[in-house]
Amino acid sequence: MALLDILRAKAEAGERIFTVEISPPATYKTIVKTDEMVRALKDFDIAGIAVTNSTGGSFRMNPLAVVETIRAWRPETPILVHLTARDEGSLRSLYSRADEMNRKSVSDVLVLRGDPTPHRSREVDAFKFSTLELVQLLRAYRDEQGYALDIFVAGHPEYPPHTLSKHMAYQRRKIEAGAQGIIANIVADPENYVRYAEAALAHGIAVPILPSVIPLTSVRRCHFLETRLHIPVPRQIMERLDAAVHPEDATRIGLDFTIGIVERLLREGAPGVNFNLIFPHDISSVAELLRAVRGHATIWEKYKIEDPEEIEYYSQLRSRLL
């Protein structure tokens, strides 16, 4: 089952979905860290796992390189990979990527522009296709090959209000070209998501818009969001984090603020939340967020199973519930 099918089924049942997003390792030597993160997520009650594609323009492994790692621990979970205009330099490379996605049973793709490689963009980046063209080409491949693939595009709630009309006009063209949903960039202020969703509806865009959230557990992370990703962080969060005496105090303050962000997003009609994971310790933060918002993090907590390893039908149960 693809992510969009789960999202629709949950919506019909009056429920929300929760996904997580990880980054591929820089080299094969560091892939063990990715394995550790996925292993830590193996029993989480989540609807899907997304893998980014060289966030920030850095040189990292292709997200498809870790699909087998995810499949080893989450055999039934939808996997969404990021595909960037920055990296697809020809139809040959794009269809080769689509063929590999098809062979590896990748169910969902997020089409986005991609960040230019710092100081080397002209040398190493492609930018041959626009995101609209990528959507059109992927839809054609999907239809011709009978490939069950959901196509998402990126959304940007951080854009200032005066730019949203132009942005939405282009988003609508991508929806008309075959995109079926929007995964929004990190939201630190729910008001920005509300404004973004309203602007989408005003432009006739009715597809699901899934906002992304990252645990705001340090001042450093908030500064990174503002300076590098241009995502505004409310002043009160920055001030409270900056006043924290100990790192654990900042973590607690940040988690409380993030819980409030998630709860507000869900109240405002978001179909769920996509949690961004940067470091392994973010997994425990997301577990706490899920317990606060939904009451459980893992499938064992959900069904109140205290010792799943001793259950005779452990493997079958995991496969059926995930």
Concatenate the DSSP letters of all residues of 164-207 into one string: HHHHHHHHHHHHHHT--EEEEEE-SSHHHHHHHHHHHHHTT--S
Give the per-residue pLDDT at 54.
77
Per-residue pLDDT band for 316 (boundaries 50, 70, 90) equals low
As given in the structure block, the two tokens for residue 233 are 């962080």
Bridge partner list, 81: 51, 109
- CA geometry: angle 151, 154, 157, nearest 5 deg: 145
| Residue listed under structure tokens 């729910």 | 190
Measure CA 20 to chain center.
6
281-290 residue pLDDT tens: 999 999 999 9
Kindly give the interhelix angle for 131-145 and 161-177, rounded to the nearest 10 degrees.
20
On whether the CB atoms of residues 179 and 111 are closer than 8 A, the answer is yes
pTM for the whole thing?
Answer: 0.92
Give the per-residue pLDDT at 61.
84
Give the per-residue pLDDT at 308.
59
- Domain range annotation of the chain: 3-321
Range in 40-44, 194-198, 227-231, 314-318 with the lowest mean pLDDT: 314-318
Give the per-residue pLDDT at 60.
79
Per-residue pLDDT band for 312 (boundaries 50, 70, 90) equals low
Mean pLDDT, residues 188-198: 97
Per-residue pLDDT band for 272 (boundaries 50, 70, 90) equals very high
Closest CA to 85 of 119, 125, 37: 125
Does the pLDDT value for residue 58 go beyond 80? no
On whether the CB atoms of residues 297 and 41 are closer than 8 A, the answer is no
Does the pLDDT value for residue 126 go beyond 60? yes
Does the pLDDT value for residue 44 go beyond 70? yes
Give the per-residue pLDDT at 275.
98
Per-residue pLDDT band for 27 (boundaries 50, 70, 90) equals confident
The CATH number, out of the four listed (3.90.660.10, 3.20.20.220, 3.10.20.600, 3.40.50.300), of the domain defined by the range 3-321: 3.20.20.220
Task: Name the amino acid, one letter, at 287.
Answer: A
Does the pLDDT value for residue 160 go beyond 60? yes
On whether the CB atoms of residues 73 and 38 are closer than 8 A, the answer is yes
Per-residue pLDDT band for 12 (boundaries 50, 70, 90) equals very high
CA distances from 280 to 3, 39, 169, 246 (A): 24, 11, 38, 20
On whether the CB atoms of residues 282 and 215 are closer than 8 A, the answer is yes
Per-residue pLDDT band for 56 (boundaries 50, 70, 90) equals confident
Mean pLDDT, residues 94-119: 94
Per-residue pLDDT band for 141 (boundaries 50, 70, 90) equals very high
As given in the structure block, the two tokens for residue 158 are 């951080």
Per-residue pLDDT band for 236 (boundaries 50, 70, 90) equals very high
| Average pLDDT taken over every residue of the chain | 91
Give the per-residue pLDDT at 310.
56
Q: Which is it for strands 272-276 and 209-213: parallel, antiparallel or unpaired? A: parallel
Mean pLDDT, residues 291-310: 85
